Homo-oligomer: A and B are copies of this chain.
Amino acid sequence: MRAVRLRLGERRDMKVSLGRKTLILPSPTWVVGTYNAGGKANAMTAAWGGICCSKPPSVCVSLREATYTYGAIVDRRAFTVNVPSADQVQLADYLGIASGRDVDKLAIAGLTAVRAEHVDAPRIDDFPLSLECALIHTVKIGLHTLFVGEIRDVVADESILNEKGRPSIEKLNPPVFSTGEAAYYGIGASLGPAFEIGKALQTAEE
């Protein structure tokens, strides 16, 4: 325990109040895929989201009502969440700048929409990881509305899977969004296994 206390003592410094702001880290860089009323595929990038339930497996994304994607999710009650890799971050950024109301973003970005097998929304086939989601909750918070999607399938490029068939964060290298800096970062070094490295502290419980 002494080592831990010393380490903490070294890093304590002045606390600064930053006010009522969404300054938390890390955030994801996810691309939400939808069909509009005419059945045309669209995709927009969103950083306000996260996993929100294990059973049923669910993910949430929050969108402004003004976005084109918002109306599509409400109409179709479905969306996909697609995860780009670091080398596709320029495409993801573009999908967060332009609106599907004005242009065919997927055509301009050279991306391919494929109908999801389990929900009424398009997967973006070029991105290595996609979740097919059925809308199960809608929570109007304020400027943003939170959509909870039940994950009906996860579709991955075989090349990003580890030896256990799970998505490898090193192979996928998903862009991390730094909220206050409005910038993207890659994934760094391994820090160790979860539910394992903390066990050393349990000896102090006795």
Contact = CB atoms under 8 A, between A and B. Distances in A.
B191 A146 contact: no
Contacts of A28: 24-27, 50
B55 A143 contact: yes
Interface in A138-160: 139, 141-144, 146, 148, 151-159
Interface size class on chain A is 35 or more
Given A4-B109, A178-B169, A201-B108, A13 B154 contact: no
Interface string A127-144: 011010000110101111
A175 interface: yes
Q: Work out how many copies of this chain go into the complex.
A: 2
B126 A12 contact: yes
Contacts of A20: 56-57, 151-154
A37 interface: no
Nearest to A27: B51
A201 B192 CA distance: 38
A42 interface: no
22 contacts: A4-B90, A7-B88, A18-B155, A18-B165, A22-B151, A26-B187, A27-B51, A53-B146, A54-B144, A90-B197, A93-B195, A94-B201, A94-B202, A96-B195, A109-B201, A137-B139, A146-B148, A166-B181, A169-B176, A169-B181, A169-B185, A176-B176
